[in-house]
A and B are shown apart, each in its own frame.
Chain A
């Protein structure tokens, strides 16, 4: 049984053109699946619809064999306890310091013990290299640091699967590596991830599988080496050669 199974998912914004067309995709426990594809191909839309920000029109999402009902608030809430997402634009709460950004959901929503959560959050922030920034506010942090807080915030909910949407694309080049390092640490920990990334070195290094999307569809799927060195479809060839720069 797959951890996360997406079956023929279809979605659109305000009933317009379909941005996801019959997308099927599985993620097993411990896997790191990378989504690649040109801009506008629906990668973000897929992640957004998985967490219920964009309600799918048809198709199914199953978590450990259980079907998610996106029209049911309880079902979505339960889903969000298991899937966490980090966006391209870190989206930290500006009125809270780093530590509180990380603790607010576990304490206020999950009603967990504040002390305990704080200890865990501190450990998480240390892990992503921000042990000395616990009480800094987002506007006092660099983009890379904010993005690492956002990753810690997502992890604090102990999700089964972490969704990452181009978490380094909004960063200045010199800040990218610190965030990539944080992702490597998670990979080494065995975190299950579904990530959109244009960092091909990272994708090749940590992905167990790479999925190529184009115009709302999954057009190719395979190991990183296979997709990069031996793409089958023309679209994939084109994209890969463009992004690898040859």
Chain B
């Protein structure tokens, strides 16, 4: 082992790498918001929907996105769709692919949350005179948020890490930029160590912020670490 660490060169690229981290954060955030939105609709259909065909459609959707690799899904969007005349930029393809993929997982999570609302609490709300809307707002949603907060936080963190896939499609997010720096400086060890640290910072900041919000707004009990 005669490899000597040389941080000097790499440290100069910190700003450039942080820029990449910022893009990673953006992609993760947008894909997550999109995923939660789709998953909410899906889970509502699965939990409360009466239309059988619609439920089957949602179930197939979930099965498809949970059982194929996200990378393949994005390849499909980026390389296969153009053959059908639909052209997505690499940013669009990655964002859409991650959104669809995470929405499959989130559907299952949300559905479990919906099912955990105690029938007895709903009955109590009903006999106290609450309408369906009041019940949803005062009883069901706060409960669902509280129960789902920890698993949703975990999925968000996981998604942040998955954004590194974007580098394959030439996006200059954290991993993409780390790769560029490594190619330019040949200091792979230092560069990828630094980018790993930045990923840790990204996820730690995200989980701390989410933890604080959860604890104070929704009385979530999960521990931070």
Q: Could you tell me which A residues sit within 8 Å of B by CB distance?
A: 51-53, 77, 80-81, 84-85, 87, 89, 91-95, 104-105, 108-110, 137, 150, 153, 157
Contacts and interface: CB of A to CB of B under 8 A. Distances in A.
A51 B146 CA distance: 30
B219 A109 contact: no
A89 B126 CA distance: 15
B124 to A, nearest CB: 4
B128 interface: yes
B139 to A, nearest CB: 6
Contact of B138 (A85, A93, A137, A153): A93
Give the 10 A-B residue pairs with the shortest CB-CB distance, closest first.
A91-B124, A95-B142, A105-B128, A91-B120, A80-B129, A109-B129, A51-B127, A85-B127, A89-B120, A91-B121
A94 to B, nearest CB: 6
Nearest to A48: B123
A81 B129 contact: yes
- Among A93, A150, A153, A157, the most chain B Cβ lie within 10 Å of the Cβ of A93
B129 A94 contact: no
A87 B124 contact: yes
B111 interface: no
Main secondary structure of the interface of A (DSSP, over half): loop
B120 A87 contact: yes
Contacts, number: 57
A157 B146 CA distance: 27
B56 interface: no
A51 B123 CA distance: 10
A94 B138 contact: no
A50 to B, nearest CB: 10
A91 B130 contact: no
27 contacts: A53-B123, A77-B129, A80-B127, A80-B128, A80-B129, A84-B127, A84-B128, A85-B127, A87-B120, A91-B118, A91-B123, A91-B124, A92-B124, A93-B124, A93-B125, A93-B138, A94-B143, A95-B142, A95-B143, A95-B218, A95-B219, A105-B129, A108-B130, A108-B134, A109-B129, A150-B124, A153-B128
Main secondary structure of the interface of B (DSSP, over half): helix
Given A84-B128, A87-B120, A95-B139, 19 more contacts: A51-B127, A53-B123, A81-B129, A87-B124, A89-B120, A91-B121, A92-B124, A93-B124, A93-B139, A94-B146, A95-B142, A95-B218, A104-B138, A105-B129, A105-B130, A109-B129, A110-B129, A150-B124, A153-B128
A87 B128 CA distance: 12
B126 A108 contact: no
A68 to B, nearest CB: 14
Contact of A95 (B124, B128, B134, B146): B146
A91 to B, nearest CB: 4
Interface string B186-225: 0000000000000000000000000000000011000000
A163 to B, nearest CB: 9
A77 B124 CA distance: 14
Interface string B141-179: 011001000000000000000000000000000000000
Contacts of A94: 118, 121, 143, 146
A246 to B, nearest CB: 36
A227 B204 CA distance: 68
A104 B125 CA distance: 10
Contacts of A80: 127-129
Given A105-B129, A109-B128, A87 B123 contact: yes
